[in-house]
Structure 1
Amino acid sequence: MKILVLGLTLLTIGYYLKSISQNVFEQDSSLDRDIDNKISINTIPNRQKVPKILHYAYPDDPENRPFTFIHWLAMTSAIETIKPVKTLFHCVHEPESYWYQLIKPKISVVKARIVTEIFGNPVKVLQHKSDVIRMEALRDYGGIYLDLDVLVFKPFDDLLYDDFTMGIEMVPNAVGLCNAVMISRPFAPFLTRWIEQYKYFDDNDYNYHSVLLPYNLSKKYEDDIHVLNETAFFWPTWVEDHLKWVHTSNEYDFSNQYAYHMWFTRGYNKYLRRLTPTLIRNVETSFNKVVRRFLNYLPVNFNEEIFKREMIGENR
Structure 2
Amino acid sequence: MLIMVYLKPIPTMNYRAAFTVCFLIIQLGILVYVTLLFYPNYEKGSRICFKKEDDEAQRLKYRLHGMQKLLKLVYRKAKVVNSREESCDIETAVLFLKKNNVSKTVFKNTFEDFSPLGGRDWSFKTYIPCSNKSLEVNGTSKELIRSQFIPSCVNYDVKLEVRKNLNESLKFPGTCLKQVIDKFCTTQFLVPNILHYIWLGKGKFEFIFFVSIFSGYKKQHPCLIFLYYDTLPSGKWWNLLLLYVSNIIPVSVNPPSKIGNRKIVFLEHKSDILRLQILREYGGIYLDTDQLLLTSLDKFRDRECTMGVASDGYLGSAVIIASKNSAFIKKWMDSYSAYKPNSWGQNSVIMATKLAKQNPNLIHLERHYCSFYPYPTYLFKQNYKWSHSYGLHIYKPGREKQLKQLNFSSIRKLNNTLGAAFRFVLFDDKELCL
TM-score computed with the length of structure 1 as normaliser: 0.76
> Residue in 2 aligned with 1:249?
382
Q: Distance in 2 between matches of 1:215 and 1:31?
A: 28
Are positions 1:228 and 2:359 aligned together?
no
2:404 aligned residue: 273
Give the structure 2 partner of residue 284 of structure 1: 415
Say whether residues 1:163 and 2:301 are aligned partners: no
Tell me the matched-pair count: 255
Between 1:282-291 and 1:50-59, the stretch displaced more is: 282-291
The CA distance in 2 between the partners of 1:205 and 1:283, in whole Å, is: 37
Confirm or deny: 8 A CA contact 2:255 2:274 kept in the other structure.
no
| Mapped contact 1:32–1:110 kept (Cα < 8 A) | no
CA distance in structure 2 between the partners assigned to 1:101 and 1:120 by the alignment = 39
Q: Which residue identity does 2:380 align to in structure 1?
A: H
CA offset digits 1:142-163 (Å, max 9, x no partner): 0000000000001001110111
TM-superposed CA distance for 1:200, in Å, is: 0.7
Partner in structure 2 of residue 55 of structure 1:
196
Q: CA–CA distance in 2 between the matches of 1:200 and 1:158?
A: 34
Q: Distance in 1 between matches of 2:320 and 2:253?
A: 19
8 Å CA contact retained: 1:89, 1:110: yes
Q: Distance in 1 between matches of 2:183 and 2:364?
A: 22
1:226-255 CA-to-partner distances (Å, cap 9, x unmatched) read 0012111111x23xxx2xx322323x1112
SS of equivalent to 2:292: strand
CA change 1:41–1:160 in 2 (3 A) is farther
Q: Which residue of 2 aligns with 1:88?
A: 226
Tell me if the contact between 1:138 and 1:184 (Cα under 8 Å) persists in the aligned partners. Answer: yes
Match of 1:43 among 185, 188, 192: 185
Q: Is the 8 A contact 1:50 1:142 kept in 2?
A: yes
Match of 1:139, SS?
Answer: helix
The two structures have a TM-score, normalised by structure 2, of: 0.56
**Displacement after TM superposition at 1:198 (Å):** 0.3
Task: Give the gaps of 5 or more residues in structure 2.
Answer: 1-169, 429-434
Root-mean-square deviation (Å)? 1.9
1:302 aligns with none
Q: How far apart, in 2, do the equivalents of 1:186 and 1:266 lie?
A: 36
Equivalent-residue separation in structure 1 for 2:219 and 2:249 (angstroms): 18
8 Å CA contact 2:305, 2:322 repeated in 1: yes
SS at match of 2:319: strand
Of structures 1 and 2, the larger Rg is shown by 2
Match of 2:73 in 1: none
Aligned equivalents of 2:171, 2:415: Cα separation in 1:
49
Provide the residue aligned with 1:263 in structure 2: 395
Contact 2:216 2:293 in 1 (8 A): yes
Q: Secondary structure at the match of 2:234?
A: coil
Q: Give 1:102 deviation, angstroms.
A: 1.7
Distance in 1, Cα, partners of 2:297 & 2:171: 31
- Give me the whole-angstrom Cα distance separating, in 2, the residues matched to 1:262 and 1:84: 21
2: CA distance between counterparts of 1:114 and 1:43? 25
Task: Tell me, in whole angstroms, the C-alpha distance in 1 between the residues paired with 2:239 and 2:232.
Answer: 10
The whole-number CA distance in structure 2 between the counterparts of 1:89 and 1:233 is: 21
> What aligned pairs does 1:182-201 form with structure 2 within 5 A after superposition?
182-201=320-339
SS of 1:255's equivalent?
A: coil
Moved more, 187-196 or 30-39: 30-39
Provide closer, same or farther for how the CA distance between residues 29 and 67 of structure 1 changes in structure 2, counting only shifts above 3 A: closer
3-state DSSP class of the match of 1:100?
helix
Quote the sequence identity (%): 25
Instruction: Give me the whole-angstrom Cα distance separating, in 2, the residues matched to 1:69 and 1:29.
Output: 26
